[in-house]
Structure formats: structure tokens, C-alpha cells
Amino acid sequence: AVTKHTGAEVINLTKLGEGGFNRVLAATLENGLQVVVKIPYPLSVPRRYATASEVATLAFLRLKGIPVPKVYG
């Protein structure tokens, strides 16, 4: 999915942590870009709702002028 959204191949993955909802990895791409990858665990609520809520929150914060990460996919 990272290559699909960025157009670059992943050359390294580093585990950053795990939480109650996601496993979080740092991906280094062949073009030098580094991205954070969140892989959701199966939840009782559909994953798309949990992720959509987080993306909407980031978009709201960005509109308020708060610097937040770009969401690729």
C-alpha cells in the first residue's frame, strides 16, 4: 500500500510500537522519504470507521492551523 500511494519502494521497516488499536511502523522509501505506517488490529468496530475518524480528526486540526502529518491512504 505504501508503494501504491507514494510511488516508491519500501527499503526498510522499523517497528515503532503497538497500541490498543494499531501496530505502528516506520518505513524508509527508496527516495529517502520516511513515512509512518499504521496497521490496525481486528476490532469490534469496522476498521474503516476507526481509521476514518482519525483521518477526519487530522483534517480538522489541519484546518485550524495545527501542523499534523499528511495521510496518504
Does the residue 42 lie in any domain?
yes
- In terms of Cα–Cα distance, which of 67, 42, 73, 34 is closest to 55? 73
What's the domain range around 34?
Answer: 2-63
CA atoms of 65 and 60, how far apart (whole Å):
9
Write the pLDDT tens digit of every residue in 21-55.
789 999 999 999 999 998 888 765 676 777 888 88
Q: What cell numbers appear for 50 in the block?
A: 476507526
pTM of the model as a whole:
0.65
- Number of domains making up the chain: 1
Q: Compute the radius of gyration of the chain from its Cα atoms.
A: 13
Does the residue 39 lie in any domain?
yes
Q: What cell numbers appear for 22 in the block?
A: 494499531
Does the residue 25 lie in any domain?
yes
Q: How far is CA 45 from the centre of its chain?
A: 19
Does the residue 70 lie in any domain?
no
